[in-house]
Structure 1
């Protein structure tokens, strides 16, 4: 599956952006028998499917990634080849019926990896086009409620990844972090880390989806990793870490211990703001290599 940091090709989007200011046209009636569609698993591929749905006037029975196609007894899904220019045209065309925030929620729904995300996004977009207006406040509709709920979950996961990612420095100066989010949030956190760590090379690797973000001091790119055998441990070997990395970890743990106030400990509240599943990536939550000792540089008064 091809991956990108933006939902459509930026140059193609710019080329057709002027077409979004025209009058709203109602969505074509889907008068032909429904079809099963298959695409390459990318968001641009899904948008291309939407174009073909209205071009063929055939509603989707299902929309499936090619690697997960399940054909029926008498019919096979119609494969749709991704066309980035067509995808950009559809993406911009959605602005006739919804604002940018509502449109962004559709992209977030795609990244959520829900089993029926393709049909959910199609139903939402089709409902908006037939209504001729933005429907984001129509919570009486189940599709609108689900998209809004998924968007909230994606926002929380994005915020937590931006807060809880911890880098380790390798011997060649690369800062590396491994994450395992519930949703595919790498495209959403890329702008944050590109802006915040613009003066250092870094790699954030999603071990569940086997791809990552790499920043080379100039731009952030998607890098994919292929492995024939599953890898349970993705930690960096100590032999490739910067020799000062253990010291950095020790200093951070020491700082955390000294600013901690045991009398104000609230484990329940702590786990609410920092769920347990994130602790494996946090230096302050790892076993201490040195026993904590209180600061002894205070002199008695008198």
Structure 2
């Protein structure tokens, strides 16, 4: 019995694509790709630690684009960001299927891997749009608009263009406390940051860190929201349908 090969990577997208390159370069059959944070309890396996190589990753990414459309490539990336357990192996199977074909014949939804990737991509896309709608910034004493989030999927890379375009003249941070990293816009570029204290915080940033004007604005907004609400016309069921309760923690008007 030939032992199965498990490829361990750092959890990044480039790291995953480096695994794909390794599979093809070394002609590995039936590999399993896992994040280094996931335990391996399987017996009779060979473990390979894959070093992230951006050049190898780029070669795979360009090769995928040659065989698919830009839309399919975006769905591929969204599916990876879902972080669903085992999604890497579904994506690898998808790549192997795509690379086997001599020509592209469009999206074949009869293929189980293609169908699953499409379904997962739609879920991630919905979460992306919700984050764009429900993120609420608070102005801190260092003049940076800051927001904390905890999305179901790792959508921060997807929401960068929206916030960079909309808030191009302001410094801002959107921090994912679930994954302990954030994106910081410094008026020129986007940087990925990690702040240990943020991983222990709640959604509401400490009032000690906020400008006095920000506190006043939040009170004013909460007062306005309450004043325009017509209690006799409230439909809680419909309200929760359009604004699920799990997003209320982001909204100033719901936390005052």
Indicate the residue corresponding to 2:25 in structure 1.
55
Q: Deviations over 1:232-257 (max 9, x none)?
A: 53532222210112211122123323
Indicate the residue corresponding to 1:272 in structure 2.
241
Indicate the residue corresponding to 1:187 in structure 2.
157
The 3-state SS of whatever aligns with 1:59 is coil
Indicate the residue corresponding to 2:205 in structure 1.
236
Alpha carbons of 1:104 and 1:219: their partners in 2 closer, same or farther (altered >3 Å)?
A: same
CA contact (8 A) 2:94 2:113 kept: yes
Indicate the residue corresponding to 2:231 in structure 1.
262
Q: What displacement does 1:59 show? A: 2.4
- What is the rounded CA distance, in whole Å, between the counterparts of 1:62 and 1:259 in structure 2? 55
User: Superposed, which structure 2 residues align to 1:145-160 within 5 Å?
Assistant: 145-160=115-130
- What is the rounded CA distance, in whole Å, between the counterparts of 2:31 and 2:199 in structure 1? 34
Unaligned regions of 5+ residues in structure 1, if any? Answer: 1-31, 288-302
From 187, 195, 210, the counterpart of 1:217: 187
Q: What displacement does 1:133 show? A: 4.1
What RMSD in Å do the two structures reach over aligned CA positions?
2.1
User: Superposed, which structure 2 residues align to 1:45-124 within 5 Å?
Assistant: 45-70=15-40, 72-124=42-94
Q: Deviations over 1:59-84 (max 9, x none)?
A: 24310112324164333311221111
Alpha carbons of 1:105 and 1:235: their partners in 2 closer, same or farther (altered >3 Å)?
A: same
Indicate the residue corresponding to 1:29 in structure 2.
none
Indicate the residue corresponding to 1:142 in structure 2.
112
The 3-state SS of whatever aligns with 1:67 is coil
Q: What displacement does 1:157 show? A: 0.4
Q: What displacement does 1:175 show? A: 0.9
Alpha carbons of 1:174 and 1:230: their partners in 2 closer, same or farther (altered >3 Å)?
A: closer
Q: Which runs of 4+ in 1 moved over 6 A?
A: none
Alpha carbons of 1:173 and 1:274: their partners in 2 closer, same or farther (altered >3 Å)?
A: same
Unaligned regions of 5+ residues in structure 2, if any? Answer: none
CA contact (8 A) 2:147 2:173 kept: yes
- Taking structure 1 as the reference length, the TM-score comes to 0.78
- Taking structure 2 as the reference length, the TM-score comes to 0.92
- What is the rounded CA distance, in whole Å, between the counterparts of 2:18 and 2:31 in structure 1? 16
- What is the rounded CA distance, in whole Å, between the counterparts of 2:26 and 2:84 in structure 1? 26
Q: Deviations over 1:193-248 (max 9, x none)?
A: 11111111111110100000111111111102347x97253532222210112211
User: Are 2:190 and 1:206 aligned?
Assistant: no
CA contact (8 A) 2:8 2:49 kept: yes
Which structure has more helix as a fraction of its residues? 2
